[in-house]
Amino acid sequence: MKGRMRKLFLRGVEPIPGNHVRLMQSGAEFFPALIAAIDAAHAEVHLETYIFNADPTAELVRDALMRAAQRGVQVQLLIDGVGSRELSAAWLDALKTAGVSVLAYRPLVNSWRSNPRNLRRLHRKLAVIDARIAFVGGMNLMNDYVPVRFDAPRLDFSVEVQGPLLARIHQSVRRLWRLVALTQLQAGERKPEIKPSWPTDGHVRAAFVVRDNFAHRRDIERVYLAALALARDEIILANAYFLPGHRFRRLLKNAAARGVRVHLLVQGHTDHPFFLAAARALYHDLLAAGVAIYEYQASELHAKVAAVDGHWATVGSSNIDPFSLLLAREANIVVNDAAFARDLQQRLHQAIGQSTPLNPADWQRRPWPQRMLSWLAYGGVRLMVGLAGGRRWV
């Protein structure tokens, strides 16, 4: 068993024992915990997000950051130049006036749609407070009901981490901040680095896995592939933008063929219909192989999570698509713990109960214009990835 578990992790991203991890679902659990941690900060706050939306929920986070800076905490906010491009100047001015240091990752110098290389984004959602507590997941700084379309909140997840894994997470956010500041010729004031600290009674083994353009280009993809290849009982995977490569799809089909229950939870409603059409080009092949696919209907699905065999789980920012796996900066937590994995598994099964199962026979009989549209969209996605400099995903 121990040998099998070791195969689930890569050299350099092995799980570290002794952590406390807590799964949080949607903003009702995530935002109060994040704001409380920021309000308790006494030395530093690092926050990275793709979207910082000007709405009442995000305003609470903004105000907590400002309060921290005003009491002398070093607060560094890194936002994405595309995802947060509509953040108002008034909000940015208020943050900076309060003493918050703000940087934009790859700020736009022209229309982002005109340059495919602008697809290389900061998609991580990370917060590290006083090097003692971290939040890693898929939730942007925005209200669960924005844009308002559903009675239920957006389905998304994050993980609160305390323990020795903080050392790696803290190092990662500091390194990226320094890199972005250097590229924008903004040295700023450098304060002494605080040493991570944590409670000593944690028992969970967990790894911090990133995707970047340097030493960790395929780490997130590879830990997924290892888990799929070794699955014996059940794979349950929820992903907002699901467009995997050939190898990923083959491993899902192989798992189903050897009797593994494979459940795939995908969007039923989307803010990117072109991308959903592309993803649907792949469903027929998976359904025919015995993979169960469910389209989530209760609200918007934004989760990027998976649970395998009741003991392995991952929660993070990475979609299973070429943009996340080849181009964007991403961060996931991978957990080897039965209680955590079962918690995620149960929440996902509950979401499946609010979803529409796709029938293989009905899917095969879809009108040909729909099928043609899907394949055209799929080809368009491949073209965009190629123009952005991404290799062919496999």
Query: Is residue 172 domain-shared with residue 318, that is, in the same domain?
Result: no
Residue 242 — pLDDT band, cuts 50, 70, 90? very high
Query: Is residue 362 domain-shared with residue 243, that is, in the same domain?
Result: yes
Give the model's pLDDT for residue 189.
60
Domain count, the chain: 2
Query: Is residue 160 domain-shared with residue 243, that is, in the same domain?
Result: no
Query: Is residue 43 domain-shared with residue 150, that is, in the same domain?
Result: yes
What is the Cα–Cα distance from 363 to 386, expressed in whole angstroms? 29
Q: Is residue 283 part of a domain?
A: yes
Query: Is residue 284 domain-shared with residue 366, that is, in the same domain?
Result: yes
Give the model's pLDDT for residue 110.
66
What value does the mean pLDDT take over residues 71-88?
96
Cβ neighbors of 137 (< 8 A, separation 6 or more) are 24, 30, 125, 156, 157, 158, 159, 315, 316, 317, 333
Query: Is residue 249 domain-shared with residue 166, that is, in the same domain?
Result: no
Of 183, 216, 239, which closes a domain?
183
Q: Is residue 169 part of a domain?
A: yes
What value does the mean pLDDT take over residues 197-211?
93
Of 152, 183, 214, which closes a domain?
183
CATH number of the domain where residue 38 is located: 3.30.870.10
Give the model's pLDDT for residue 391.
60
In percent, how much of the chain has pLDDT > 90?
73
- Residue 170, domain extent: 15-183
User: Left, alpha or beta for 290 (phi > 0: left; psi -120 to 50: alpha)?
Assistant: left
What is the Cα–Cα distance from 104 to 183, expressed in whole angstroms? 11
Q: Is residue 194 part of a domain?
A: no
What value does the mean pLDDT take over residues 144-163?
93
Of 168, 183, 198, which closes a domain?
183
**Angle, CA 328 vertex, CA 245 and CA 301 arms, to 5°:** 70
What value does the mean pLDDT take over residues 199-217?
92
Write out the catalytic residue numbers.
123, 125, 130, 302, 304, 309
Q: Is residue 309 part of a domain?
A: yes
Of 257-261, 354-358, 367-371, give the lowest mean pLDDT range.
367-371
Helices (H) and strands (E) in the chain, counts: 13, 15
pLDDT in tens, 14-54: 899 999 999 999 999 999 999 999 999 999 999 999 999 99
Asked whether the predicted pLDDT for residue 394 surpasses 50, the reply is no
Q: 289 and 257 in contact (C-beta within 8 Å)? A: yes
Q: Is residue 189 part of a domain?
A: no
Q: Is residue 99 part of a domain?
A: yes
Give the model's pLDDT for residue 215.
84
pLDDT in tens, 102-121: 999 998 776 555 566 677 89
Q: Is residue 8 part of a domain?
A: no
Q: 243 and 322 in contact (C-beta within 8 Å)? A: yes
Query: Is residue 149 domain-shared with residue 267, that is, in the same domain?
Result: no
In percent, how much of the chain has pLDDT > 70?
92
Give the model's pLDDT for residue 188.
60
Query: Is residue 94 domain-shared with residue 237, that is, in the same domain?
Result: no
Most confident of the ranges 262-276, 305-319, 350-364: 305-319
Q: Which helix (H) or strand (E) holds 45?
A: strand 44-49
Query: Is residue 232 domain-shared with residue 119, that is, in the same domain?
Result: no
Query: Is residue 123 domain-shared with residue 212, that is, in the same domain?
Result: no
Query: Is residue 300 domain-shared with residue 332, that is, in the same domain?
Result: yes
Q: Is residue 394 part of a domain?
A: no
Please indicate whether residue 81 or residue 366 has the higher confidence score (pLDDT). 81
Residue 149 — pLDDT band, cuts 50, 70, 90? confident
Residue 56 — pLDDT band, cuts 50, 70, 90? very high
Of 209-218, 290-299, 311-320, give the lowest mean pLDDT range.
209-218
pTM here is: 0.93
Query: Is residue 176 domain-shared with residue 220, that is, in the same domain?
Result: no
Q: What is the CA radius of gyration of the chain?
A: 20
Give the model's pLDDT for residue 345.
98
What is the average pLDDT score of the chain? 91
Please indicate whether residue 375 or residue 131 has the higher confidence score (pLDDT). 131
Cβ neighbors of 80 (< 8 A, separation 6 or more) are 49, 50, 51, 104, 105, 106, 121, 122, 123
Give the model's pLDDT for residue 1.
46
